[in-house]
Amino acid sequence: MTQTLYTYDGGEIDLSLVTRLYPAALISAGGESASVSLEWAEMKKEQITLESYVLICDFDPVGEVPVNRVEIRYETKEALFAAMNDIASLIKS
């Protein structure tokens, strides 16, 4: 597979090595941080503290517990969606 590089503020990711790619919301709950679905965060927005939006890139084979992971943080949902669109256009080309 050809190398497809995505560059972001913190570095570079070879998208051809990513096995799972998904958006999430990073919330603070009980002094801990947790990644939850965007839908869940939206439904519970009155009861949670949203830290940021994240794009999670896993590199481990599907079916294995993901340990090799990069989380790219965004301050707004719009910035997250813009990054997802950028990645989609890289994958299509």
Would you say residue 23 lies in a domain?
yes
Domain assignment present for 1:
no
* pLDDT tens digits along 5-25: 999 988 999 999 999 999 999
Total domain count, the chain: 1
* pTM of the complete model: 0.85
Within-domain flag for 5:
no
CB–CB of 8/83 below 8 Å?
yes
Instruction: Examine residue 59 and state whether it is found in any structural domain, yes or no.
Output: yes
Query: 27-36 — which CB contacts under 8 Å span 24+ positions?
Result: 27/51, 35/71
Q: What's the domain range around 36?
A: 18-92
In a domain, 24, yes or no: yes
pLDDT digits (tens, 9 = 90+) for 66-91: 899 999 999 999 999 999 999 999 98
pLDDT of residue 37: 97
